[in-house]
Amino acid sequence: MAAAIAYAERTAGQTGQSPAVGCVIVKHGKVIGRGHTQPGGRPHAEAAALGMAGEAAAGADIYVTLEPCAHDSERGPACAATVTAARPARVIIACEDPDPRTAGKGIAMLKAAGIEVQCGLMETAARASMAGFFARQTLARPFVTVKLATSLDGRIALPNGESKWITSAAARAHCHLQRARHDMILVGAGTVRADNPALTVRLPGLESRSPARVMLGSGGAPEGWQALASPTDIGELPGNMLFVEGGAETAASFIRADLADRLLLYRAPIILGAGKACLGDIGLHDLMTAHDRWRLVDTRMLAKDRTEIYERAIAPDQ
Amino acid sequence: MAAAIAYAERTAGQTGQSPAVGCVIVKHGKVIGRGHTQPGGRPHAEAAALGMAGEAAAGADIYVTLEPCAHDSERGPACAATVTAARPARVIIACEDPDPRTAGKGIAMLKAAGIEVQCGLMETAARASMAGFFARQTLARPFVTVKLATSLDGRIALPNGESKWITSAAARAHCHLQRARHDMILVGAGTVRADNPALTVRLPGLESRSPARVMLGSGGAPEGWQALASPTDIGELPGNMLFVEGGAETAASFIRADLADRLLLYRAPIILGAGKACLGDIGLHDLMTAHDRWRLVDTRMLAKDRTEIYERAIAPDQ
């Protein structure tokens, strides 16, 4: 299942509103098929893996990160039917599909065909790999990552506006890798007007993974940008993974609206003192309510900088 | 030597302008004497350890974190003479004494008496344990630690001034332990007028280790406080270890004057957004000069908070 999740993550940020699923087929201790959701959402992972395995899938074990879908679509048949037709011995599933068109029906179809089904293996890791899809299904919006790159004292620029560079090349490369894992990248209108940033993925081999650009704020968006009037309108955006890169007021507006699911912090070992703060007003009125909202899920050093990933510790209002 | 350094650290912040030294005497694999500099600076560690070992010190190995002093004083004889009289086989020293009254003369006296001397064992760790003494000897001022306790976004209070509490009880206890390792604690005049803080060590058994209180700024200091007009006057202060607790402008004034030797950061996993920044203007004019000034020497989690200790990576002007 770990291999299936790793395989699914190759396609993160590429599958639109579909989940990024991974599938590995094992027979007699050997991998005979593997697949992940293809860019745009089709073909599904199971179809790709079964296509590789061919006839050998009969009697094999299929590991898949999400319950096979139970609904036919104009873009392809239901995976549960495709899997059943391949006559595997077992299907091991990480998590049930929250999509009401499937939600347990895929598992029921497999079981009705006499296939042994296990569900729940590495569920937490698999859900994390499909965070955008789960946000879309349960919250009707993309999963939102807010990135902040600061000095030790929480600054993002000198009083004169100088901000290149606070973090190291290693931290900036890590950030570009995160961009590649998102469908969409958003900055405020002020940043667009000041810099008209490319926001591309500048990593060898990943240039094609640059996310679609979204501008938050009023006024027309330039060529190549989609405009978004308010953070609360993010449900309208096409993808499932939204990367919010700044500036301070834009980042604060997502936190204020309780629409930040993950904080990605980069912190350089420098002190700036006076300068531009990393965040504007988030509408906090007392310290008690600031606590227990974020939990650290990962941290590591990137050259001299530390990166920290926090995720919400309190479920958002639905 | 590690035991001698650990022993020395028990007396950190208690020895005035004298070094906090540790001494361990070993014979036939057993510790027969140990001592550290006593509060106020006398007796010295070697005298304390030799007093415990008695006649058995003859032929023993003496581990001491600093070269035994070579100068008699009205407060006691030179340690090099006392050690020589005890007729040890070997004296193992972590670092030479930078005090010009000793600086190599102590070692020379021991060697002249036919005692084997080794110098340099665990020198870096020993110097760190006597950072205040080395700052006093080489910079004619105390070693300065600047403490900042902030949110993830570098804030120390809400816009309405609320600041209790940002960090956890565990982080605050750690901070009190750091207070106990300093002779003196300094806050700005504004903080004194607003809060008249006790700044005591509120840890069981360490209440007596509360540092002397120093107020930075103009205007008369209240009863129980010493006034300091400017950070550049810290050479006048009696102790070797100065703890700067705030507020933001006071902390910035020490960094601006290149008088911050160590940054002690506590960081709670909360976001405040608008509010009071942890630091005021440090006089920085370009980003290039912000880099490579600080290196991380320690970090750990304290309950949900992270503490980080940075030390200067560039020697101060002398």
At B318, the pLDDT band (50, 70, 90 cuts) reads low
* Cα–Cα distance for residue pair B200/B202, rounded to 1 Å: 6
Strands B241-246 and B143-150: parallel
* Cα–Cα distance for residue pair B72/A1, rounded to 1 Å: 74
Comparing alpha-carbon positions, the chain B residue that sits nearest to A278 is B153
Residue A39 has what pLDDT? 87
Taking contacts as CB-CB distances below 8 angstroms, the residues of chain A near B155 are 154
* Cα–Cα distance for residue pair B186/B215, rounded to 1 Å: 6
Shortest Cα distance from B271 to chain A (angstroms)? 6
For the segment B240-292, what is each residue's pLDDT rounded down to a tens digit? Answer: 999 999 899 999 999 999 999 999 999 999 999 999 999 999 999 999 999 99
* Cα–Cα distance for residue pair A267/A248, rounded to 1 Å: 15
Taking contacts as CB-CB distances below 8 angstroms, the residues of chain B near A166 are 287
Shortest Cα distance from B169 to chain A (angstroms)? 13
For the segment A260-307, what is each residue's pLDDT rounded down to a tens digit? Answer: 999 999 999 999 999 999 999 999 999 999 999 999 999 999 999 999
In whole numbers, what is the pLDDT of chain A averaged over residues? 93
Nearest to A271 among B273, B282, B286 (CB): B282
In the structure encoding, which two tokens stand for residue B111, read together? 């060697």
Nearest to A273 among B166, B275, B281 (CB): B281
pLDDT at B194 over 60: yes
Neighbours of B28 (CB within 10 A): 9
pLDDT at A119 over 70: yes
Cβ atoms of B81 and B53 within 8 Å: the answer is: no
Shortest Cα distance from A214 to chain B (angstroms)? 23
Taking contacts as CB-CB distances below 8 angstroms, the residues of chain A near B304 are 296
Neighbours of B145 (CB within 10 A): 25
CA angle (A235 as vertex; A229, A237 as ends), nearest 5: 70
* Cα–Cα distance for residue pair A24/A32, rounded to 1 Å: 8
pLDDT at A219 over 90: no
Q: Do A279 and B153 touch (CB under 8 A)?
A: yes
Comparing alpha-carbon positions, the chain B residue that sits nearest to A310 is B269
Catalytic residue from among B9, B46, B67, B245: B46
- E-strand stretches of A44-172: 61-66, 90-95, 116-119, 143-150, 155-157
Taking contacts as CB-CB distances below 8 angstroms, the residues of chain A near B161 are none
pLDDT at B152 over 80: yes
In chain B the first and final C-alpha atoms are separated, in Å, by 30
H or E stretch at B134 = helix B131-139
Q: Do B286 and A158 touch (CB under 8 A)?
A: yes
For the segment A25-37, what is each residue's pLDDT rounded down to a tens digit? Answer: 999 999 999 999 9
* Cα–Cα distance for residue pair A233/A216, rounded to 1 Å: 10
3-state secondary structure of B271: coil
Among B147, B150, B151, B153, pick the best mutation site for testing chain A contact (most A Cβ within 10 A). B153
Q: Do A273 and B285 touch (CB under 8 A)?
A: no
Taking contacts as CB-CB distances below 8 angstroms, the residues of chain A near B166 are 287
* Cα–Cα distance for residue pair A138/B27, rounded to 1 Å: 72
For the segment B158-191, what is each residue's pLDDT rounded down to a tens digit? Answer: 999 999 999 999 999 999 999 999 999 999 999 9
Comparing alpha-carbon positions, the chain A residue that sits nearest to B154 is A154
Question: Scanning the structure block, which residue is given the tokens 């939990």?
Answer: A295
Nearest to A30 by CA among A47, A10, A53: A53
Comparing alpha-carbon positions, the chain B residue that sits nearest to A154 is B154
Among B167, B264, B279, pick the best mutation site for testing chain A contact (most A Cβ within 10 A). B279
State the count of interchain CB pairs (< 8 A) between A and B. 137
Residue B12 has what pLDDT? 85
CA atoms within 13 A on the CB side of A45: 32
Residue B266 has what pLDDT? 98
Among A147, A151, A153, pick the best mutation site for testing chain B contact (most B Cβ within 10 A). A153
Nearest to B273 among A166, A255, A291 (CB): A255
Interface predicted TM-score of the whole assembly (ipTM), two decimals: 0.89
Shortest Cα distance from B258 to chain A (angstroms)? 12
Cβ atoms of B229 and B218 within 8 Å: the answer is: yes
pLDDT at B221 over 70: yes
Cβ atoms of A169 and A284 within 8 Å: the answer is: no
Nearest to B269 among A152, A283, A294 (CB): A294
Average pLDDT over residues A88-102: 95
Shortest Cα distance from A53 to chain B (angstroms)? 47
Shortest Cα distance from A290 to chain B (angstroms)? 6
pLDDT at A7 over 70: yes
In chain A the first and final C-alpha atoms are separated, in Å, by 30
* Cα–Cα distance for residue pair B176/B171, rounded to 1 Å: 9
For the segment B108-137, what is each residue's pLDDT rounded down to a tens digit? Answer: 999 999 999 999 999 999 999 999 999 999
pLDDT at A167 over 90: yes
Shortest Cα distance from A216 to chain B (angstroms)? 19
Nearest to B284 among A273, A279, A295 (CB): A273
Comparing alpha-carbon positions, the chain B residue that sits nearest to A301 is B296
pLDDT at A91 over 80: yes
Q: Do B280 and A274 touch (CB under 8 A)?
A: yes
CA B81, B84, B86, B88 torsion-angle sign: positive
* Cα–Cα distance for residue pair B308/B172, rounded to 1 Å: 14
The C-alpha R_g of chain B, in whole angstroms, comes to 21
Taking contacts as CB-CB distances below 8 angstroms, the residues of chain B near A269 are 294-296, 310
Strands B90-95 and B116-119: parallel
For the segment B11-38, what is each residue's pLDDT rounded down to a tens digit? Answer: 888 888 889 999 999 999 999 999 999 9
At A136, the pLDDT band (50, 70, 90 cuts) reads very high
Taking contacts as CB-CB distances below 8 angstroms, the residues of chain B near A281 are 273-274
Single-letter code of the amino acid located at B166: I
Nearest to A287 among B158, B296, B310 (CB): B158
pLDDT at B314 over 90: no
CA B8, B11, B12, B14 torsion-angle sign: negative
Average pLDDT over residues A142-152: 97
Q: Do A282 and B273 touch (CB under 8 A)?
A: yes
For the segment A47-71, what is each residue's pLDDT rounded down to a tens digit? Answer: 999 999 999 999 999 999 999 999 8
Cα–Cα distances (Å) from A177 to A204, A267, A278, A303, A305, in that order, read 10, 17, 21, 16, 16
* Cα–Cα distance for residue pair B127/B139, rounded to 1 Å: 15
Q: Do A294 and B270 touch (CB under 8 A)?
A: yes
CA angle (B111 as vertex; B109, B113 as ends), nearest 5: 75
Q: Do B280 and A273 touch (CB under 8 A)?
A: yes
Comparing alpha-carbon positions, the chain B residue that sits nearest to A252 is B273
Taking contacts as CB-CB distances below 8 angstroms, the residues of chain B near A252 are 273
Q: Which residues of A are the active-site residues?
A: 46
Taking contacts as CB-CB distances below 8 angstroms, the residues of chain B near A251 are none
In the structure encoding, which two tokens stand for residue A78, read together? 């239901």
Domains in chain B, please, with CATH? 2-133 (3.40.140.10), 140-312 (3.40.430.10)
CA atoms within 13 A on the CB side of B157: 11
